[in-house]
Copies of this chain bind each other. A is one copy, B any other.
């Protein structure tokens, strides 16, 4: 039975936790993840370092929290790109939305896919946004399965998008071909 005063404290605590995550994300996006140190975060939120450790077990947990936020946002981005469309148009819109997301928030995407330390993925307690994101993609691919297994197609399509996103960011692909890659991929995917 929580007293009102305890409730207020928990509220403030949750708020501060959110501030930590937001600060980490912002700093990562502007100066890169290397610049995200516990000391700088502590300075930013105007608390001492141990306070951070009362919210998160270690630095990795902070990154995980940012990643999780990223997945949640990716879901909403994909959803809004998909609503009102279907078939080919839906797939095109989702793919473009996915690449734009990765392109516009590279540090966030990095947290989600190369920094996050083993977020539970295939497990029951996979944070729901992960599964939801997958489902969102799946509905777009379903229309183009054409006899093929929808899940396999989704995984392969997602992998292609992910590879495109990461190799583009690492500048390993020719800039002058940039606008031709996604159309070609979409052509492949719809058979």
Q: Which A residues contact B (CB, under 8 angstroms)?
A: 113-114, 118, 121-122, 148-149, 151-153, 155-156, 158-164, 166-167, 170-175, 177, 180-181, 184-185, 187-189, 191
Given the known A-B contacts A114-B114, A121-B172, A122-B174, are A152 and B164 also in contact in the complex, defined by CB atoms under 8 Å? no
Instruction: Tell me how far the C-beta of A90 lies from the nearest C-beta in chain B, rounded to whole angstroms.
Output: 18
Instruction: Tell me how far the C-beta of A107 lies from the nearest C-beta in chain B, rounded to whole angstroms.
Output: 14
Cα distance A151–B191 when bound, in Å?
A: 20
Residue of B nearest to A160 (CB): B160
Contact of A184 among B153, B174, B181 (CB under 8 A): B153
4 further interface pairs, Cβ-Cβ under 8 Å (given A122-B175, A156-B164) = A156-B185, A159-B164, A166-B166, A188-B191
Contact of A152 among B162, B170, B181, B189 (CB under 8 A): B181
Residue of B nearest to A163 (CB): B163
